[in-house]
Structure 1
Amino acid sequence: MLPDTPDVETVLFGADGVAESLSAGKTIVDMSSISPIATRDFAARVAEKGCDYLDAPVSGGEVGAKNAALSIMVGGKVKAFERVKPLFDLMGKTVTHVGEAGAGQVAKVANQIIVALTIEAVAEGLLFASKAGADPAKVRQAITGGLATSRILELHGERMIKRTFDPGFRIRLHQKDLNLALEGARSLGMALPATALAQQLFSACVANGGADADHSAMVRALELMAGHEIGEAPPTER
């Protein structure tokens, strides 16, 4: 598991890289979160050596890793997946073969889009409630019983209210994942307008020194624009 696409390419195909010592029948498993397009190219180059390539990015963060409860999204040949699955089962609670090479990365990008947009929605809702004079903790409690409930409202909503922004999953990493989403969208000739907004909110956090805060700290960018912090007394009470 490496930080970014160029790192994976260097480890695989750079000087003294893994590919130089591959022999037929071996399987490479990459659990990084990187470009689906580059992943397909890497898999094709590895296949030329008679080897299998599985892309297996994960979701679940630090807590999921510590508890062997990660969600693992796997792309590659079915037989290679079945061969490696017992190892995945030691790390993950949900292990899914999504499709051919690159499909695991596509699933991870989709996951990160959904997570980012849900964080943004939770942040807007709780910030609105707080500035309007309601207790954001009680608002959160009230809506967890309805259609708006989610793990992000449960976990990250609490972080926003309690101001506990220690990672978790760092903003700079989620920002990178959204960049992959937007690059992929351009290559597909499609628009992801809400994803672009979330990416810009993460960029605002990074610009204000929050690159290594948990991604729930996206709320800080919205708070700057609102001139109000969740839990702060509303303007009429000052």
Structure 2
Amino acid sequence: MLKKIGFVGLGTVGKHMAENLAKSDYALTVWDEDAEAAAALGKLGVKVGSSAKETAKGQDLVIVIVPESEQIVFGAEGVLEGIDPGTIFVDMGTHCPETIERMSKEAVKRRAMFLEAPVWGSKEHAANGLLTILAGGDEALLGRCREPFSYFGLNIIHIGKVGDATRMKMIVNMLQAELLVSLSEGLVMGNKMGFTPDKILEVLDSGGVASPLFHSKGRSIARGDFSRNLALKYVHSQLERVLEAAQKFGLELPAAETARKLYAQADADGRGEEDFSAIIKLLRR
């Protein structure tokens, strides 16, 4: 039975995941490079680790959700240096397949059990326990993690072996980025024709192209709210990975390539830290 959890990574989404876990009966230890973020969690009564390595020690389960980071996972003070044999190591970030494979191999060397479980959703989803979790690895191991995952995840889907969840997340990331470009084009074109965003969204919500993404992002765009839920810079980097993978398969993905160019330009223009819905600002020129 899992009792002690180490949680590394208190960014836009990870912070809310840890806050929800803090409401449970698990003995939770958190750590982040941002000491203030960790201290804020400490005020909720959880223990704050001194490093990623120390946070991983003595735990039943270690959850890591950070951008691709050599030092936090693989470094001398990283998670893998502190993890104990028999501990479940779950990576919930979005990485390239090669990084996931390396994590899995290093975990096995240390006789730890590895599960990849990238999350899909915004900070609002995380705050309200509504994230989707895509899991790759032993399904029985996932079964042991379902209870703690349920504090921040609504949908927990076993995809297949280690690596499969990361590959599935690529598809999700690609479609999400393309949909936002399509929505932005519709809102910009509609504005030129004299329609308000609210009227366009009312029509979209009523028909066959209705989607939660169009609804939520469309409303925030209409309010002029581009506060960060999913950083544009991350969507750009994810599209780069998608197209690298497509090249290996000999695929041409024209919509993804167009989206990549737009997000790359918006990132270069200094919009990387804004929400990825800020892509519409590029199209409004």
Q: Deviations over 1:166-221 (max 9, x none)?
A: 11211112112212212222233323221121122112222222111111111111
Residues 193/3 of structure 1: CA separation in 2 closer, same or farther (3 Å cut): farther
CA drift at 1:104? 1.8
Give the match's secondary structure for 2:89. Answer: strand
Q: Which shifted more, 127-136 or 59-68?
A: 127-136
Scaled by the length of structure 2, the TM-score of the pair is 0.72
CA drift at 1:21? 4.2
**Separation of aligned partners in 2, 1:155 and 1:17:** 37
**Separation of aligned partners in 1, 2:214 and 2:142:** 33
The one of 158, 164, 185 aligned to 2:219:
158
- The reply to whether residue 208 of structure 1 matches residue 269 of structure 2 is yes
**Separation of aligned partners in 2, 1:154 and 1:66:** 19
**Separation of aligned partners in 1, 2:253 and 2:203:** 31
1:131 — aligned with what?
Answer: 192
Q: Which structure 2 segments of 5+ residues have no match? A: 1-63
The one of 112, 118, 121 aligned to 1:51:
112
2:87 — aligned with what?
Answer: 26
Give the match's secondary structure for 1:98. Answer: strand
1:4 — aligned with what?
Answer: 67
Give the match's secondary structure for 1:54. Answer: strand
Structure having greater relative contact order (Cα 8 Å, sep ≥ 6): 1
1:147 — aligned with what?
Answer: 208
Scaled by the length of structure 1, the TM-score of the pair is 0.86
CA drift at 1:16? 4.0
**Separation of aligned partners in 1, 2:201 and 2:122:** 23
CA drift at 1:58? 0.8
**Separation of aligned partners in 1, 2:227 and 2:74:** 35
Q: Say what the alpha-carbon RMSD is for the aligned residues.
A: 1.8
Q: Which structure 1 segments of 5+ residues have no match? A: 225-238
Once the two structures are aligned, what percentage of the paired residues are identical?
26
**Separation of aligned partners in 2, 1:125 and 1:165:** 18
- The reply to whether residue 68 of structure 1 matches residue 129 of structure 2 is yes
Query: When the two structures are aligned, how many residues end up with a matched partner?
Result: 222
**Separation of aligned partners in 1, 2:216 and 2:73:** 37
Structure 1 or 2: larger helix share? 1
CA drift at 1:72? 0.8
Residues 147/77 of structure 1: CA separation in 2 closer, same or farther (3 Å cut): same
